[in-house]
């Protein structure tokens, strides 16, 4: 599991142990987990800007690329 996703899952109540399972749930809040992921994506999108006709631009990554990079998805 990606490090950042693992951190968000832990914030939502998931914890990890080595035996007998790789992970377990301790009152895992699926809604909180989903909201944390959505908030991460919104934070990434909030920095996205377009290139203007005069050549001025902000963030060069397309939001899809930026989100994939952030979560380590290839």
What integer is the mean pLDDT of 23-44? 82
pTM for the predicted model, two decimal places: 0.60
Binned at pLDDT 50, 70 and 90, residue 24 comes out as low
Tokens of residue 5, six digits: 């996703």
pLDDT of 21 reads 58
**Cα–Cα distance for residue pair 9/14, rounded to 1 Å:** 5
Strands (E) across 1-74 are located at 14-16, 23-25
* pLDDT of 8 over the 70 cut: yes
Better-predicted residue by pLDDT, 27 or 4: 4
Tokens of residue 35, six digits: 């909201």
- In this prediction, what percent of the chain has a pLDDT beyond 70? 70
pLDDT of 26 reads 62
């Amino acid at each position: 599991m990606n490090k950042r996703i693992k951190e968000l899952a832990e914030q939502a109540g998931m914890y990890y142990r080595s035996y007998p399972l790789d992970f377990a749930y301790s009152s895992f809040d699926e809604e909180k987990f989903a909201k944390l992921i959505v908030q991460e994506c919104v934070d990434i999108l909030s920095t996205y800007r377009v290139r203007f006709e005069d050549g001025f631009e902000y963030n060069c990554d397309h939001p899809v690329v930026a989100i994939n990079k952030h979560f380590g998805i290839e």
